[in-house]
Amino acid sequence: MKHAWLIIAHNEFEILQMLISALDDPRNDIFVHIDRKIKNPPHLYAYRSDLLILDKRINVHWGGLSQIKTELLIMEEARKRGPYERYHIISGTHLPLKSQNEIHSFFASYSDKEIMHLWDKDERDIGNKLQRINLFTSGLTQKNKVIRCCSQLLWRITQRIQKLLKVNRFPGKSFVKSDNWLSLTEDAVKYLCDNAKDILKKYRYSYCGDEYFVASELADHKERFKILDTELLLFTVFERYNPKVLTLTDFDNVASSGCLFARKFSSSHIEMAQKVLSAL
């Protein structure tokens, strides 16, 4: 069976096309969601893969429920055309570090596993992002400084009040955090899509719930879903909480990482993207 590549993008469309071209292979189908805020989406093309640009688009706000909605939407759209051997969720600023033969060979070795990179458990993070009701999150990253500052202040106040009141929305519930960029089996995608309504209700007032919902929901059914925790999916360099744009100075570290993909690439350093792809 083919692999489905589910790409979530909102900018860097030159890099996005480079990614699509690198995935363009008869063994792959490619699905792309472009943020609804983009009024004039780019023309994208593939020659050997079926390429589907989603007509239904979501206005995505970082950290909000819209990110979970987008992941569930693109999974469901791909599932309609499936079944697929695997569903890979990646961003539009990923690029592969391995050939398609190497990538398909890697995943064939773990055909029954849900593959992702898990984070160490952080009860404070879980308390802030999941166990309390998160309000005003859509304004936390607004470009308008007044809206952003007011939203951040109101969010902190409501968090502080809930902490004093010892609010715990999910007593006894265990949560597992993973990178958003992961690889799932047909069965896992079916489970998540079939339970989308309950998932959206559960994570409605979460903050960055996209970091938790896939791993947490699958981990609740360990007898059905086997999770492989690996760092080999993606090479990323973080600067504080944000992924760094990779430049030529990072090339040796990227090339020696052994990872399948790297992120994040930008047209502002297009020579790095070109060098990575030329090394395939």
194-to-104, 199, 200 alpha-carbon distances in Å: 27, 10, 12
Please give the pLDDT value at position 139.
82
Show the tokens assigned to 18: 């480079």
**8-state DSSP, 239:** E
Please give the pLDDT value at position 79.
96
Q: Is the pTM of this model over 0.85?
A: yes
What is the torsional sign of CA 255, 257, 258, 263?
negative
**8-state DSSP, 249:** G
Three-state DSSP at 106 gives helix
The rounded distance, in Å, linking the Cα atoms of 179 and 120 is: 11
Please give the pLDDT value at position 254.
96
201-to-1, 84, 93, 209 alpha-carbon distances in Å: 33, 27, 30, 12
The rounded distance, in Å, linking the Cα atoms of 54 and 47 is: 18
The rounded distance, in Å, linking the Cα atoms of 193 and 69 is: 10
Contact between 212 and 130 (Cβ < 8 Å): yes
Domain 3-122+178-278 top-level CATH class:
alpha beta
Q: Where in the chain is the domain with CATH 3.90.550.10?
A: 3-122+178-278
Show the tokens assigned to 214: 């896939």
Provide the residue-wise pLDDT of the chain in tens; the chain has 280 residues.
Answer: 899 999 999 999 999 999 999 999 999 999 999 999 999 999 999 999 999 999 999 999 888 899 999 999 999 999 999 899 999 999 999 999 999 999 999 999 999 999 999 999 999 999 999 999 999 888 888 888 888 899 999 999 999 999 999 999 999 889 999 999 999 999 999 999 999 999 999 999 999 999 999 999 999 999 999 999 999 999 999 887 789 999 999 999 999 999 999 999 999 999 999 999 999 8
Contact between 24 and 47 (Cβ < 8 Å): yes
Preceding omega of 264 cis (within 30 degrees of 0)? yes
**8-state DSSP, 128:** I
Please give the pLDDT value at position 138.
82
**8-state DSSP, 161:** H
